[in-house]
Amino acid sequence: MSDVLVGGIHRRDGYSFQLVNIECMPQSDHYNVIMALEEPIDDLLPYLAAVLPACTYVHGTGVINLMEEGHIVGIYGDRITITDVTGLDDAQEWCERYVARIEDVRRRKDSIQPVERRQVSLTVLEIYRRLPQTNCGACGDATCMAFAARVFRREVPFTSCPEIRPEDPEISRFVNQLAAQGFPAGS
Ligand code: SF4
């Protein structure tokens, strides 16, 4: 799977961003955002990890992962990636939200206790990561993330995605893990 740049690079004060979608679905109206930061924030990651709700961070990995309102967010020293935005305005809003958070943490840094490690349950993310992530729509959902959220809410079995390969040992283990946790089984 590779990304396709949509609409060029948008420059703003302190950062720029690009919308990308996936090659196999170029007409999709869902995009991922790659936001490039002009000023690196490597030193702020342990502080951001301390204040961001429900994030995962291990010092030394150089990335904070979290899920917010159904979007998967990755915060790196030089960029932020955000999945499933609906267009330019939505992307801009998300970028500004993270610019404000970075500025807030930078301002309050001396009063924040940095963290070395933080781990939360990322069940929707774990489901999403085992899906093909092609947003093909064959399951009836517009995106794999929307489907993962429905699996998480136990509305549909994970195996109702027609694109997964049940014979894959990792998928097979994951299906058993879901069953052990009481998720609905497929037909
Ligand atoms: S059918 Fe599977 S791969 Fe296609 S959008 Fe749904 S979850 Fe994603």
Q: Tell me which residue has its CA closest to atom 7 in ligand 1.
A: 144
Report, as an integer, the average pLDDT of 130-144. 93
Q: What is the pLDDT of residue 65?
A: 85
Q: What number does the ligand 1 atom closest to the CA of 142 have?
A: 5
% of the chain with per-residue pLDDT over 90: 52
Q: Report pLDDT for 1.
A: 42
pTM beyond 0.95, yes or no:
no
Predicted local distance difference test score (pLDDT) of residue 176:
84
What percent of the chain clears pLDDT 70, i.e. is strictly above it?
88
Whether the per-residue pLDDT at 121 is higher than 90: the answer is: no
d(CA 72, CA 55): 10
pLDDT in tens, 76-94: 999 999 988 988 999 999 9
Ligand 1 site residues, Cβ closer than 6 angstroms: 131-132, 134-139, 141, 144, 147, 161-163
Instruction: Classify domain 123-180 at the CATH class level.
Output: mainly alpha
Q: Which atom of ligand 1 is nearest to the CA of 162?
A: 1
Domain boundaries, the chain: 3-118, 123-180
Q: Architecture of 3-118 per CATH? A: 2-Layer Sandwich (3.30)
Q: Show the tokens assigned to 2.
A: 């590779």
Give the single-character DSSP code of 74.
E
| Section 135-159 average pLDDT | 89
DSSP letters spanning 62-98: -EEEEEETTEEEEEESSEEEEEEE-SHHHHHHHHHHH
Give 131 Cα–ligand 1 centroid separation in angstroms.
7
